[in-house]
Amino acid sequence: MQSFELIERGSQLNSYLLFISLLSLAFIAYARLSTPNALSLSWRRFLKTSRVESFGFDDEKMRPQTQALFFINFYLSLNLCVYLFVAEFYARTEALLMSTIVVAAWVLYQTLVYRFVLFLVDQWKWVAAFAEVNKQVWSFTGLIFLALAFLWTINGQANDLINNLFILCSLLLYFWRIFKSWRIAQQANLEWYYLILYLCALEILPMLLVWRWFIS
């Protein structure tokens, strides 16, 4: 009887996770209806490394409503992936709390860190350009995390392959974001020591500290 209850609870949890995944998919579907080329536009914007002045071109511009839907999908999908990743090491309640705090703190940090640097170097006019990089990366990244969340949920439990795939995708996407930010800093003609402050002190070093904490 006890083993039956454990299986039932696990199945119920998978149903909740699958529902959240379907909810994220519904946001993407609605974004696709409101902007027919939303998916291809997200892909093109993700790969975009051209000059800042071209960010406002009509063929590369995404409606604010569509952008908001992509961000909601990114936030929910990333929460799901982080939860499923840490659920192997912690109890469900702890894993849920940890994933919620980690994702919220990470998004807030990524939103504020470049603003802090630009304020220090008196280059506030470039805030919109760096904010655009976050939007471009998060929109497409949410689609990848949504696919991983589906694989994880359908599988029923985290396995080594999906774990490693999640880590690999997260690292590649993170460094791609750093590269795009570096390109913007180059185009803004920021001094090299400001680039070191931004990339090393406020981007790479915190990630290394988080990774060291995790593997310990």
**Which of the four pLDDT bands, split at 50, 70 and 90, describes residue 181?**
confident
Least confident of 67-81, 157-171, 199-213: 199-213
Which pLDDT does position 141 carry in this prediction?
Answer: 92
pLDDT for 196 equals: 64
**145, 74 Cβ separation under 8 angstroms:** yes
Long-range contacts of 163-172 (CB under 8 A, 24+ apart): 163/85, 163/88, 166/81, 166/85, 169/144, 169/145
Q: Are 180 and 136 in contact (CB under 8 A)?
A: yes
Q: What is the pLDDT of residue 78?
A: 92
Q: Please give the Cα distance from 33 to 27 (Å, whole number).
A: 10
From 58-72, 96-110, 182-196, 201-215, the region with the lowest mean pLDDT: 201-215
| Total tally of structural domains belonging to the chain | 1
pLDDT beyond 70 at 7: no
Instruction: Give the pLDDT confidence score for residue 146 in this predicted structure.
Output: 92
**Contacts made by residues 133-137, CB under 8 angstroms, sequence distance 24+:** 133/177, 133/180, 133/181, 133/184, 134/110, 134/177, 135/45, 135/62, 135/67, 135/71, 136/45, 136/46, 136/48, 136/180, 137/46, 137/173, 137/176, 137/177, 137/180
Domain that residue 184 falls in: 2-215
| pLDDT greater than 60 at residue 41 | yes
Q: What is the mean pLDDT of the chain?
A: 77
Residues 207-216 pLDDT 10s: 666 667 666 6
